[in-house]
Structure formats: structure tokens, C-alpha cells
Structure 1
Amino acid sequence: VDIITYASVYGLDDQVFRNLSNPNITHDVRAAIINQLGFSVEPSQRANQYLEYIARSRSQQPSTITLEMLTAAEALALGYLLAMDDPTLESAVAVANRSRSSSSLGQVQRANALLLLDAAVVKDPEDFSIAFIRSLVRAQQSLRAGIGNWCAVYQNVFSVLKDFPRQRNMRPEAIDMVNDYIRGYRNYCNSRSISR
């Protein structure tokens, strides 16, 4: 898809922001755009930049944007960008604003990746791509919590695959690639904790 290639060549700019917000672009393509941008080794500001774009497009300040105002597409993109910005999942959107009092930050600026992805799921609960991305971010959190939580890495993703057996709006090859990796974490589960 040309818009995915564009993101890999040019990085994050207003065209990519427009694509992330575009309701005519499917959520799997939205996730693929963010995948092309990749993980940040050091916490970065891509989610904050995207929030600034969202605010500008509404003639608002970032601090006035609420979770309720976001579309499912925007909540997904913000949450996934934030997870890719900071793999520790400890940051809020407005990491750059740490010097400001947290009371002056808006609701979305204080949100973490999982809160944003939870909001996306609430806004579009029947969408496999949103639920799948949220499960991957939850799996990332479980992975970082240590070996005692690695069964949850498998269970987070497996539960979404089980809940959406047919209605998957994501390329099968993409799902299979993730599945091949995640399946290795099944070994950390005892047989009673896995539904067959």
C-alpha cells in the first residue's frame, strides 16, 4: 500500500497524520503505517506530535482533547504510537510536558498506551485489528513484567484470536507472523490455564 511505503520513506509528517486520522483507511492499514515507523529505542514524541495534529485539526489545544472526542482510529493510532514510542509502557502521551504540572495536562495528554487502546476498543468493539493491537500491547506489558507473567503474553493474544474466529480485518499473513512468535510463550502456561 502506497501510504505504508510513504511512512517508511518520509517518517511522520502531516500526510501520515492525515492518513492515521482518515476514517476511510482501515485499522489494519493504520497499524501497518505505525509498524513502518517502528519502535523507538529511547522514548520519543511521536504520539505527542500526533495529538498536536489532532488538536490543530479541531482548532483546539492538546490539553482540551478528551478520550470521548477521539475517534476509534485516533485512539488506536495514539495508543499504538505511544506503545512504539516507549516500549516500557510507562509514559503518558505528553512526556515532553513533564516539567508542567500534571493538573495543567489534558485527559489525553495524561493517558498511557493501554488507556488509549481501551478507549479505541470501546468505540469499535467489533473490530479485530483494534482488539489485536491492544492484545499485543498487553502482551508487551506482560513480557516486561518478567518470566512469571509470560503465560499472559500468549493468553492476551490467544483470547482475541478466539473471540474473532471469522471476522478478522487484517491480512492473514500478518496474523500468522505474530502468531508464530507468540505461540512460543504457550510453553509458560500450565495446561489448565489454556482453553483448547
Structure 2
Amino acid sequence: MACRTLRSLALLLPVLVAFPALADSPLTSTPIWYAYADEYAMVAHATEEGMMTEEIAEYLASEGVPIDVKAAVISALGWDIDGKTSAEEYCAFVYPDADGIPAPSDLSGEEALVIGYLQAMDDYFHPENALPMLAHARSEMPESLTVAVLHTLCEAQRLFDEVDDWYELWHMTALVIYDRELTGDMRVGAIRIIEDYMSLYAEE
């Protein structure tokens, strides 16, 4: 397990070095999967696959998998500068009778979180496409730290090129990760990954 994770990290580092500006953003620079790969085999498996499979889709749709672990698997699937189609592929596996991606109103909060985060990672240049799903997830699960964090990261991604003061990106993130009224359903290590990166905007 550890060796596979290290190999995955070794493969990732050249990409980050080759495309520093393109990889430097709230969604692409917060790989929360690092905090889960030591315990959850599917997280490490997703880093190796790098694409949606029926096995991964079934795992993400399982009611027995904690929501933060599902988020870690999606994070582990990663992103591509040319875009990905993981959300569409996931929906084809899980909702075969639907015409493409279901409407947010037809989904539970957890279902919307999975699809929304997949959409955000699929096309991080257009995070606004994922926000309706993530906003629905947050309205359905208002006490979930995992949902609030991912919704906020997507919103920060949308504002990335719009805000005059990048400190705003850190401020909006800090309001969520330090909110003690939210249920702590995300590992401390994952929160630290987000905190370490997003706090850099406080220094700009």
C-alpha cells in the first residue's frame, strides 16, 4: 500500500513541476487523498487508475462508504489540464436510466456531493458548472464539514481570477475549516492539506 502510494506521488510530482501555474489553484493544489491513502485501498487504487471505472463508481455510490472517503477517492482520480469526463462516466454507471447527469433536485446531498466534486475536478477551468450540485449538497447536509469545504474550494476556484485581494480566498476557507459547529467528518490531515495551501493566499 505504502509503496503504491509513494509511486503515485512520484508520478505526480513531475506534473506539478512542469505545470506550476496551471496546477496552482484551490481545486488542483489541495490533494486531500494523501490523508487517506494509508488506510483506504480504493484511494490508492484511484491514483493508479486515474479514470472512472465501474468498480470505483460502485464504491462512490455505496451507502457504506463515509462521505470524506468518497471525496478522497475523487481527489485521487485527479485532474487533467485538457479536462476529464469522470462525472459523466460515473452517472452512466450509477444512473443508467437517466439522460446524462441527474438534476440536483433529484439527488440526496451525498449523491450531489459526489457528482459535484467530480464535475469540479473534471473541468477546474469552469468550476461554476459544479456549483449547483455542490450548493444542493450543502443545503441538504448543512452540518457536514466535508461538504462545506468542497463547496467552498469550488467557490474559491470560481473567484480565483476575479478577486482583487486573494486574501478573500483564504478568509472564506478559514470560516469553514475553523467552524466548530460543523460535523468533523473529514480527517485532520486532509484539513491541514487545505489549510497549508489556502493560507498562502493570506500572504499575497
With the length of structure 1 as denominator, give the TM-score of the two structures: 0.76
Structure 1 runs (4+) deviating above 6 angstroms are none
Q: Aligned in 2, Cα 1:82/1:37: closer, same or farther, shift over 3 Å?
A: same
| 1:171 counterpart letter in structure 2 | R
Residue 81 of structure 1 and its aligned partner are, at CA, apart by: 1.0
Q: Aligned-pair distance for 1:43?
A: 2.1
Question: Percent of aligned positions with the same letter in both sequences?
Answer: 26
1:30-80, CA deviations, whole angstroms, 9 ceiling, x for partnerless residues?
A: 111011111121122111111222321xxx222583222212222111111
CA displacement at 1:169 relative to structure 2 = 1.2
Q: CA deviation at 1:182?
A: 1.0
CA distance in 2, matches of 1:73, 1:127: 10
Within the alignment, does 1:116 sit opposite 2:133 as a pair?
yes
Bigger drift between 174-183 and 82-91 goes to 82-91
Report the Cα distance in structure 1 between the residues aligned to 2:62 and 2:54, rounded to whole angstroms: 12
Correspondence for 2:24: none
Pick one of 162, 165, 185 that aligns with 1:145: 162
RMSD: 2.0
Gaps of 5+ in 1: 92-111, 189-196
> 5 Å matches for 1:150-161?
150-161=166-177
Query: Aligned residues, how many?
Result: 164
Structure showing greater radius of gyration is 1
Task: Report the equivalent of 1:2.
Answer: 41
Instruction: Report how far residue 135 of structure 1 moved.
Output: 1.0
Name the structure 1 match of 2:4: none
SS at match of 1:144: coil
Q: CA deviation at 1:114?
A: 0.8
Cα deviation, residue 24, structure 1: 1.5
Query: Which of structures 1 and 2 has the larger relative contact order (alpha carbons within 8 angstroms, sep 6+)?
Result: 2
Contact 1:138–1:156 (CA<8 Å) still a contact in 2?
no
Alignment-derived partner of residue 94 in structure 2: 54
- Letter in structure 1 aligned against 2:145: F
Any conservation in 1 of the 2:127–2:157 contact (CA below 8 Å)? no
- Structure 1, residues 59-109: CA drift from partner, whole Å, max 9, x if none? x22258322221222211111111111111257xxxxxxxxxxxxxxxxxx
Q: TM-score, normalised by structure 2?
A: 0.73
CA change 1:27–1:41 in 2 (3 A) is same
Compute the displacement of 1:153 (Å): 1.1
Equivalent position to 1:65, from 76, 81, 102? 102
| Structure 2: segments with no counterpart, 5+ residues | 1-39
Query: Residue 169 of structure 1 aligns to a residue in which SS?
Result: coil
Alignment match, 2:74: 34
